[in-house]
Structure 1
Amino acid sequence: MLQQGHMFLEEDMERCEIPTVALASGQHIPILGLGMSHIGGYSHNALLHALRNCGINHIDTAKRYGNEAQVGKAIAESGVKREELWITTKLWPGDYGYQNAMQACLDSSKRLGLEYLDLYLMHWPDAHTPGKSAREVRAETWQALVDLYRRGVCRSIGVSNFLVHHLEQLKEDCSVVPHLNQVEFHPFQRPQELMDYCRRNNIVFGGYCPLAKGQALTHPVIQQLAKSYGRTPAQICIRWSIQNGAITIPKSTKEERIEENCKVFDFHLEEEDMERISSLQCNTKLIHLSYPLWRGRGHS
């Protein structure tokens, strides 16, 4: 359940209080954040603007993105108190294994200039170590995250891109269930079975690519709803994700886009419109796609 903060007001255009979601760790993660990426995914000025002016204190990065040190520099320059920040980063599969994971976490923390991480995620379920099965490597790596969590180095721990069978294996092999699972989630990719599994097992569901890398913004249904609500297509997509209970982390390097993406807490999508957007599901992930997901599907 969301912990509702103050609603966005027109006269307070730059900053808004963002609702949070309780994790099994006892921590509360902001439901809206700013995502980084390894391809054009970092702008120092945009990140500072998000932290100082927009009320975005939830930043999602990863070792793979190569910008942890830059994010740490922006955090230090922002003047935002550490206890008001939520910083997520991720462990790359090349660092899987117990000792490697322990060291990689400490290295990420150092690059970010932080004494602890709010959330640390295993980035992918893929795991390749000679002489061990992928399941064994995932369990060994997850145990390292559990120990980091118990030591307070990571206040919450989770996984990214894990499917139901991966989560089931971790539950069988380890004593702590992930606090969050972050996967691709947008109008064209809504993994209902995975969402239901996470909710049954007290795993918070996180979604990345809420705009489908921009593809959702040109869909006729999204554009129609944007016009109806007096919003932008991006705001419709982000609001849909949030109303589905997903921790939502749109990416942007543009200050004006970050502001736009924040203005989603002063309106509510009607249930029939939520269903219209959900009906766009075509169960196709964005990786390696170079054509619009929705072309030829007959939506209007």
Structure 2
Amino acid sequence: MQGITLSNGVVMPYIGYGTGVVNHYSTNFPVWAKHRVRLILNSVKNLRINRQIKIDMFASQMVRDAYNSGFRLFDTGRIYGDSEIAISKGLKNVQRENYFLCTKFSDLCYEMNPQRQDVLFHLKKSLSFLQTDYVDLLCIHHPHGDVAKIWAEMEKAYESGLCRAIGTSNFNVSDFAELKKTQKIAPMVNQGERHPFFTNNEVFEYCRQNNILFMAHTPTGRGTVSNSDLLSEIGRKYGKTNSQIVLRWHNQNGVVPVVSTTNKEHMEQSNDIFDFELFDEMSRITNLNNNVRMLDCLNGVDNPLYRFNR
């Protein structure tokens, strides 16, 4: 399996596929019902199936399509509903050594199982949903809760072989500094938002200087890169789409982007980024940064009133 070598020698593929939330549900029925009705009305209004409904219905097939399109890294998490189940179904007939699994643990899991305040219990649930004996990467989803305790338990999971690498997600430099006070094993990966309009430079540079690989969620700014004249200009030069240019920019920066798409053609395009090289365009793309986030990590799936994990 080709990819980037982590600090502990584990090889991570150059690009990942993420399903996002699949079949999310809530302990708060009115919240769930309101959300579902909104999706249905959106489908009727636009005369096409809503993206979230499509994911709920066809997630496992999308995972299968992603694998056939060249993806070997699959990203999921405990608070992504049935995502782990969808991935296991989509990869059912694939040899385990031929793909890389990343899942994430959130302190929100404790609210679903108040009697089990331990990472290993929830990791083993993830393993059962994923139908595997180990994950390649286990990340703490957010710097929420007792991070020192959670990390210590993740270190034990790593030492026991239940995960081949451990990492963080959505951490700021101050979060790393706090973790460093108690950690025995340094994070090998940090997943965070990064794209040309939000380069997340302080965290990116911290990771680079501390040998922590940066995984980029929201790698194309939720499609906003399609509106960039500069990216269109560069795309015409190389015969690539704006998204392909951005994914190549990530790759040449040593970043692993996690793509989320329901379109098979886009899956194939996402893996067709290794036959050209950017030169002076790298800095021009980086200079598009205006420090605007696309994802508010305190809302959406992380709203405690809206539960997504089993």
Q: Please classify the TM superposition score into its range, dividing by the shorter chain length.
A: 0.7 to 0.9
Aligned to 2:31: none
In structure 2, the residue matched to 1:55 is: 70
AA partner of residue 6 (structure 2): L
Q: CA deviation at 1:107?
A: 0.5
Q: Secondary structure, in 3 states, of the residue corresponding to 1:55?
A: coil
Q: State how far apart, in whole Å, the 2-side matches of 1:144 and 1:178 are.
A: 13
Query: 2:220 corresponds to which residue?
Result: 211
| Matching of residue 282 in structure 1 with residue 290 in structure 2 | yes
What residue is the counterpart of 2:276 in the other structure?
267
Q: TM-score, normalised by structure 2?
A: 0.80
| 1:87-117 residue CA offsets vs partner (Å, 9 max, x unmatched) | 1111122136994322111101111101001
Cα distance in 2 for residues equivalent to 1:36 and 1:232: 22
Choose from 206, 210, 230 the match for 1:221.
Answer: 230
What 5-or-longer segments of structure 1 have no aligned partner?
A: 1-17, 128-136, 289-300
Which ranges of structure 2 fall in alignment gaps of 5 or more residues? 23-51, 297-310
| TM value normalised by structure 1 | 0.82
> Take 1:191 and 1:70, find their aligned partners in 2: how far apart are those partners?
31
2:14 corresponds in structure 1 to: 31
Question: What amino acid does structure 2 have at the position aligned with 1:24?
Answer: S
- How far is 1:62 from its partner? 1.0
**What is the SS of the residue equivalent to 1:212?**
coil
CA distance in 1, matches of 2:156, 2:109: 16
Contact 2:19 2:260 in 1 (8 A): yes
Residue 225 of structure 1 deviates from its aligned partner by: 1.1
Q: CA deviation at 1:286?
A: 0.7
**Distance across 1 between alignment mates of 2:88 and 2:283:** 40
1:90 aligns with 104
8 Å CA contact 2:17–2:74 kept in 1: the answer is yes
Determine the structure 2 residue equivalent to 1:256. Answer: 265
> 1:60 is matched by which residue type in structure 2?
D
Q: Secondary structure at the match of 2:125?
A: helix
C-alpha distance in structure 2 between counterparts of 1:202 and 1:287, whole Å = 25
Q: Deviations over 1:235-282 (max 9, x none)?
A: 011111111110111111111110011100101111x21111101101
Measure the CA separation in 1 of the matches of 2:167 and 2:267: 26
Distance 1:95 1:143 in 2: 17
Work out whether residues 60 and 249 of structure 1, in 8 Å CA contact, stay in contact via their aligned partners in 2: yes
Could you tell which deviates more after superposition, 143-152 or 226-235? 226-235
Q: How much does 1:219 deviate? A: 1.1
- Partner amino acid for 2:14? I
CA contact (8 A) 2:200 2:291 kept: yes
Question: Structure 2 matches for 1:138-157, cutoff 5 A?
Answer: 138-157=147-166
Structure 1, residues 168-225: CA drift from partner, whole Å, max 9, x if none?
Answer: 1111111111110000010011122212211222211111111100011111111111
Query: Could you list the per-position Cα deviations for residues 129-164 of structure 1 after superposition, in whole angstroms to 9, with x for gaps in the alignment?
Result: xxxxxxxx1000000100000000011110100011
Aligned residue number for residue 118 of structure 1: 136
Matches within 5 A, 1:106-255: 106-127=124-145, 137-255=146-264
SS for the counterpart of 1:165 is helix
Q: What secondary structure, in the 3-state scheme, does the structure 2 residue paired with 1:120 have?
A: strand
Contact kept in structure 2, 1:240 and 1:274, CA below 8 Å:
yes
SS at match of 2:133: coil
Query: How many percent of aligned residue pairs carry the same amino acid?
Result: 31
Q: Paired residue for 2:34?
A: none
Residue aligned with 1:239, SS: helix
Distance 2:2 2:216 in 1: 16
What residue is the counterpart of 2:91 in the other structure? Answer: 75
Distance 1:47 1:69 in 2: 11
Counterpart AA for 1:169: E
The question of whether the paired residues in 1 share the 8 Å contact of 2:189 and 2:215 is answered with: yes
**Does the Cα contact within 8 Å between 1:99 and 1:144 map onto a contact in 2?**
no
Secondary structure of the corresponding residue to residue 74 of structure 2 = strand
Cα distance in 2 between the residues matched to 1:154 and 1:230:
40
SS in 2 for 1:34: strand
Question: Cα 1:120–1:24, aligned 2, differ >3 Å: closer, same or farther?
Answer: same
Q: Secondary structure at the match of 1:183?
A: strand
Question: Corresponding residue for 1:103?
Answer: 121
Q: How many residues align?
A: 259
In structure 1, C-alpha distance between the alignment counterparts of 2:117 and 2:147, rounded to whole Å = 13
